[in-house]
Structure formats: structure tokens, C-alpha cells
């Protein structure tokens, strides 16, 4: 059944949800396409509708695919203003289904992979983007220690640790070297802003594709895919969230080059200003933050290509996504102001912050 051991899953569900157990209870599991990290399934157990997320099979890098952390942060955010699905049960015993997994409630809503939001009215697109900005600000407004996440990561030196982590992951990759990534590994540490002390719960992959919107209303009802979450700097998330304005439609569904005004999509500056109108930490988004986000996503694509080559990627499209690593690395260079010769183009370091009325 969709790569899952039917008998083992039925036995596990009957033990953890005995009220739904019975000889005639139907079990269905359907893989959700589109994810590139942890394999995810819709599970129907009688009248109960669940989502199951598990680690991928095969060798994985240390610290990657941390579903245990994902489960913990979902539990911690219950009762806050951050919309999340309710996490139900974590199973850390890999013997049950081959890898650790957890189940959460299944919400009904809309998820979009194309940041142009095709088929919607301009006013709906605008409201959805602004809802996403507000949702990110709500996340960053949560004080980690007040929800039991004071030890969820180290509060300072976030970007230095992130640069070290992703540079090491790239170094460990068996894939061919990408010159643009090699250049960024030199540029980013040299241009990293001084630590301003801003600390928040960082989602780590905050983008439109990880938002679930209400079935009919233009508002976020759930933030999904928390495996990269930690304590970090809020501009790490914001820099990641504005990537679509810097990537083309054939680069993982970006909006660069589209008539965004006609589509109703706010400009990047307006989106950032709307976030700042609702946040509490008031940190500035810089060229470094935008370049770092694109660099990190490029390394993620390197990892997807590696898993595709090893035959254990979560999506059949993984082999096609691998080449995006170089394209995102080039976009990161552009965000950094690096031209083909390696020089830096002059520009202001920080984004303009406007008050959105």
C-alpha cells in the first residue's frame, strides 16, 4: 500500500487509536506528491483522517529529515496564533514501518506550488501573499521559552552555524562542483551582518508551497513542513520567503519577470513592509539574507540530486530538480550583487521599509 506495510500500519493504528478499531475498519494510504524531503501520506482509518510523515529510506545526512523536531514544534505551537495542524503521535521505533514517523490531523485546504497562483483573482492573490507575511510575523512573535522551546536551538550565531552546516553538506555531496556555489561560500561569510541579537522560532523553509490556505478564503490556515525549524534569526525566514521575486517561473515556480502588478501580487518591498508592520523584532532584511536563502536552497537541490542518484528521493521529479542547484546558485550571486567576473555591484545594503496602510 503506497510503500507502507499495511499490516504493520493497521496494527499500529489499532493500538494508538483503539476507539476507531474494529474488524471492518477500512485503511487507506495515499502518497502526497510534490514533497522532496520526508515522504508524506494521507491516511484514512475508518472515519479518522490523518497525515503520516516519515523519514526517507536509505542513508541520510546527520540531522537531516528530523521529523522528531517537526513533531515537537507542532506540539509547542498549539494554542498560539501560528496556524498549524494538530500533531497526534510520534513513533520513533524504525522497526514499525522501516523509518520513524508521526501522524497529525488532516486539514482541508489549498496548497499551491506555483507562486503565480494561477486561476485566482488579483485581489485573492494579494490577500494570500499578505496573509503569508502576517503569518510569518506571528511565528516570529512567539517567544520560544514561553512555549517550551527555549532549548530548541542556540539563540546566537545563527547565520554562522547555518553557513557552516550547508557548506559542509555541499562539501559532502558526491555531485560535481558548482562554481557559483564555491564563490558564494567565500562571499557569504565575508559579508555576514553582525549579530543583532534577534531570536525567533525559525521555520527554515517558509515559502508559499508550505502554506495551506482556507478552501475558499484567501488566508493561511496551516504552516506545513517544519523539519528544518530551530531557534534562529527571523531574517533567515524572511529572506527565504522572498525568493520567488528573485527566481523565474521555471525555477521552482518563481514570479520573476511576470506582470505581478496585473496579477495582484505585491512587490517584494511591499511584502517585506507588510511583514514589518506586524513583527516585533524589527530586524532589517539585507542583501546577505536574500543571497544566503538562495544559496541554501541551491544546496538543498544538490541534496535532492544526490538522493535521486542513490534511488531514495521522495519524489519522482527529484532527478529533474537537481539541475536547479546551479540556477539558484546563480540567482544567489545576483542577489549578492556579484557579476560574472566576481566583482560586487554597488547598491544599498538594506531593503526599503515602507509602512503599508
pLDDT value of residue 357: 26
Which one, of 273, 314, 259, lies nearest residue 3 by Cα? 314
- Give the per-residue pLDDT at 332: 96
Give pLDDT tens digits for 172-219: 999 889 999 999 999 999 999 998 989 999 999 999 999 999 999 999
User: What averages of pLDDT result for each successive group of 10 residues across the chain (357 residues)?
Assistant: 81 88 83 74 92 80 74 96 97 94 97 95 98 98 97 92 94 91 96 93 94 98 93 96 96 95 98 94 92 95 80 59 88 88 42 32
Provide the residue ranges of all domains of the chain, joining segments of one domain with +: 6-105, 122-336
> Residue ranges of the alpha helices (H) in 191-350?
234-241, 260-263, 268-276, 287-310, 318-321, 324-336
Which pLDDT value is given to residue 57? 75
For 231-246, the pLDDT digits (tens) are: 999 999 999 999 999 9
What superfamily does domain 122-336 belong to in CATH? Aminoglycoside phosphotransferase (APH), C-terminal lobe (3.90.1200.10)
Judged on CB neighbours under 10 Å (0-12, 13-18, 19+), 130 is: buried
Tell me if the pTM is above 0.75: yes
Which CATH architecture describes the domain 6-105? 2-Layer Sandwich (3.30)
Counting beta carbons within 10 angstroms of the beta carbon of residue 49, is it exposed (0 to 12), middle (13 to 18) or buried (19 or more)?
Answer: middle
How much is the pLDDT for 134?
A: 98
What is the model's pLDDT at position 319? 59
Residue 254 near residue 246, CB atoms below 8 Å: yes
Amino acid at each position: 500500500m503506497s510503500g507502507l506495510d499495511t499490516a504493520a500500519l493497521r496494527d499500529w493504528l489499532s493500538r494508538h487509536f483503539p476507539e476507531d478499531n474494529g474488524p471492518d475498519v477500512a485503511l487507506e494510504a495515499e502518497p502526497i506528491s510534490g514533497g522532496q524531503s520526508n515522504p508524506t501520506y494521507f491516511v484514512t482509518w475508518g472515519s479518522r483522517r490523518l497525515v503520516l510523515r516519515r523519514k526517507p529510506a536509505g542513508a541520510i545526512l546527520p540531522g537531516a529529515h528530523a521529523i522528531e523536531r517537526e513533531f515537537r514544534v507542532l506540539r509547542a505551537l498549539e494554542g498560539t496564533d501560528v496556524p498549524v495542524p494538530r500533531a497526534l503521535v510520534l513513533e520513533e521505533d524504525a522497526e514499525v514501518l522501516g523509518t520513524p514517523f508521526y501522524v497529525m490531523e488532516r486539514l482541508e485546504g489549498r496548497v499551491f506550488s506555483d507562486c503565480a497562483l494561477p486561476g485566482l483573482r488579483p485581489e485573492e492573490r494579494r490577500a494570500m501573499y499578505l496573509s503569508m507575511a502576517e503569518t510569518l510575523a506571528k511565528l516570529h512573535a512567539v517567544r520560544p521559552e514561553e512555549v517550551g522551546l527555549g532549548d530548541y536551538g542556540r539563540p546566537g550565531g545563527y547565520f554562522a552555524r547555518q553557513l557552516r552546516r550547508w557548506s559542509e553538506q555541499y562539501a559532502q555531496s558526491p555531485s560535481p562542483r558548482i562554481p557559483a556555489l564555491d564563490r558564494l561560500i567565500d562571499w557569504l561569510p565575508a559579508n555576514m551582518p553582525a549579530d543583532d541579537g534577534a531570536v525567533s522560532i525559525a521555520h527554515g523553509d517558509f515559502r508559499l508551497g508550505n502554506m495551506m490556505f482556507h478552501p475558499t478564503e484567501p488566508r493561511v490556515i496551516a504552516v506545513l513542513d517544519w523539519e528544518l525549524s530551530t531557534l534562529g534569526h527571523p531574517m533567515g525566514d524572511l529572506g527565504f520567503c522572498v525568493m520567488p521575486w528573485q527566481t523565474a517561473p521555471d525555477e521552482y515556480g518563481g514570479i520573476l519577470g511576470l506582470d505581478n502588478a496585473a496579477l495582484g501580487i505585491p512587490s517584494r518591498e511591499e511584502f517585506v513592509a507588510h511583514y514589518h508592520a506586524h513583527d516585533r523584532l524589527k530586524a532589517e532584511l539585507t542583501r546577505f539574507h536574500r543571497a544566503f536563502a538562495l544559496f541554501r536552497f541551491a544546496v538543498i537541490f544538490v541534496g535532492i540530486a544526490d538522493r535521486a542518484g542513490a534511488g531514495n528521493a521522495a519524489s519522482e521529479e527529484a532527478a529533474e530538480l537537481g539541475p536547479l542547484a546551479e540556477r539558484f546558485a546563480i540567482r544567489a550571486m545576483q542577489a549578492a550583487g556579484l557579476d560574472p567576473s566576481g566583482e560586487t555591484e554597488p547598491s544599498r545594503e538594506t531593503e526599503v521599509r515602507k509602512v503599508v496602510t
